[in-house]
Structure 1
Amino acid sequence: MNTSLSVNKSLVALAHILQRLEHSGRPVDAEQYRTVVSRLEAELKAAPPDALEPLLRAMPSVAELYENLQYVHAGLCRSPLEAGLNAELEARRLIDVARRPARPT
């Protein structure tokens, strides 16, 4: 993976480990998962945000973690707005349909 030189090797290694854990076909030890996420979280917080983009694009699990860390400040900053809006509109439509009285048969 070609990432910015500003992103340290620990961050990249932890990102790869998280990806492997996320896509493992076998059960993952919860403590191991928490440890990896905790360390990765610290590395993401310490990294310059502008240097993270290649890593986040290449590793969806890391991008999701990053977005969750940024949520308090930026909401779902990496999620496409259109997909979220369409999901909300569809949910509203389905709620309206469910509220309508049933037609007699």
Structure 2
Amino acid sequence: MTEPASTVAGFLGVKFAAVIAGMAGAVISLRFIDDLSVFGRVLAVLTGALTAGYLSPAAGQWLDLSQPTENAIAFVLGLTAMNAIPGLLKLSEKFAADPLSFIRAPHNHRRKD
């Protein structure tokens, strides 16, 4: 059964269930972060919800996943979006600085401990 497009999530072009699952994951992840302001917490929940809302249906379609599995992916995306997005942005900065080097040697971009 398809979800009604009259919801805010439907208006944004995302599945309501994915947004709710992502939001739940983001709210739980806040338990492990101490130094966020109230605005930062609200932004983190919105980030998790929207990341899950847009990416989990795409993953579900691409991988031919069942709806419960897609919802689980939405939850994990919401849970991890606040940490994953800064990492992806750093990778994109490295790529923008020197795309050929980045493509030729992706192992050079691993963190050295």
TM-score above 0.5 = no
Larger Rg: 1
- The structure in which a higher percent of residues are helix is 2
